[in-house]
Amino acid sequence: MQPTIKKSLWIVGGTQGIGRHLKESLWEEYQVLSFSRREGQDFAEESVVQSLLSTHGAPFAWIHCPGSFLERNLLETRPDEWEALLRSNLWTFLVAARVLLPAMGEKGEGRILAFGASALKQRSAKLRGPAYFAVKEALFSVVQSLAKEWAPRGVLLNLISPGLIAHEHSVQESQERMKGKVPLGRLGTPRDLVGLVRLLLSPEGGYLVGQELVVDGGLSL
Ligand SMILES: NC(=O)c1ccc[n+]([C@@H]2O[C@H](COP(=O)([O-])OP(=O)(O)OC[C@H]3O[C@@H](n4cnc5c(N)ncnc54)[C@H](OP(=O)(O)O)[C@@H]3O)[C@@H](O)[C@H]2O)c1
């Protein structure tokens, strides 16, 4: 019997947190490549992504994890903090999309997953991390626009919006403060996202386009 050839999956931010857990969960099903700044790949730099594309070719799927958080009042958020939020949450995604989408489109199939945050769904004012949520709203808008543009070429983009996902580097003090608001009564773990990611990468997930999928134990209800 012929060995099955695994489809390639890039995880940007596979060194910690949600990305690391996805890498550990999916490596048997996909040929996973993981990138991060500490491994020498800054996705805010287009030349870096270009060089990875030249070396490895276009992936079947790309999961984009960078997305720093900031819990500060809007008017107290300094320009350099806005810049850091935009660079981490939005710019790295756009840079990679500019390079990877055309290459994935040429293959005629592909999946792209970015991360929002569950409170987006409420479309409400934000007192906790308003700058962060403003930037995530922008990311969702970008994901939806690209999803509509690229679906005809077989590349499906979606946004996963996690709630309070605890891991070794998550914002634990803030998560503990919010925990009581979760109807399920517990913080999430990266494992809680794996089933949805599997679905979105699979043929069974092939009719989901440009959606925000919330995984938050009911926090945003
Ligand atoms: N954890 C939660 O509770 C939660 C809740 C809502 C939404 N989210 C969103 O879910 C996503 C993943 O969250 P997380 O908690 O796992 O994040 P995380 O712990 O901050 O991990 C981010 C990963 O991305 C990498 N990264 C950051 N900037 C990069 C860049 N410029 N180029 C390449 N890699 C970069 C980091 O490695 P390096 O630092 O080495 O580059 C790290 O591996 C984020 O977008 C976050 O906003 C998380």
Please spell the DSSP secondary structure of 15-63, one letter per residue: TSHHHHHHHHHHTTTEEEEEE-GGGT--TT-HHHHHHHHHHH---SEEE
CB distance 182 to ligand 1 below 6 Å: no
Integer Cα distance of 161 and 133 in angstroms: 11
Alpha carbon nearest to ligand 1 atom 27, residue: 66
Tokens of 45: 């730099």
CA atoms within 13 A on the CB side of 133: 20
Tokens of 103: 């290459």
Residue 67 CA, ligand 1 centroid: distance in Å = 5
Structural contact between residues 37 and 89, judged by C-beta atoms closer than 8 angstroms: no
Residue 177 CA, ligand 1 centroid: distance in Å = 21
Which ligand 1 atom minimizes the distance to the CA of 114? 45
Please name the residues in contact with 192: beta carbons below 8 A apart, sequence gap of 6 or more: 162, 165, 215, 217
Structural contact between residues 132 and 69, judged by C-beta atoms closer than 8 angstroms: yes
Phi/psi for 52 (5° steps) reads -65, -40
CB distance 65 to ligand 1 below 6 Å: yes
Confidence (pTM): 0.97
Residue 2 CA, ligand 1 centroid: distance in Å = 37
Residue 13 CA, ligand 1 centroid: distance in Å = 6
Integer Cα distance of 18 and 192 in angstroms: 10
Residue 185 CA, ligand 1 centroid: distance in Å = 24
Integer Cα distance of 67 and 140 in angstroms: 13
Alpha carbon nearest to ligand 1 atom 36, residue: 13
Integer Cα distance of 148 and 159 in angstroms: 13
CB distance 188 to ligand 1 below 6 Å: no
**Which spans in 118-185 are helix H?**
130-150, 172-178
7-215 CATH pick, 3.40.50.720, 3.40.50.10950, 3.30.70.100, 1.10.150.120: 3.40.50.720
Of 135, 146, 134, whose CA–CA distance to 211 is shortest? 146
Per-residue pLDDT of the chain (221 residues; tens, 9 = 90+): 777 899 999 999 999 999 999 999 999 999 999 999 999 999 999 999 999 999 999 999 999 999 999 999 999 999 999 999 999 999 999 999 999 999 999 999 999 999 999 999 888 999 999 999 999 999 999 999 999 999 999 999 999 999 999 999 999 999 999 999 999 999 999 999 999 999 999 999 999 999 999 999 999 99
CB distance 41 to ligand 1 below 6 Å: yes
Residue listed under structure tokens 């996973």: 32
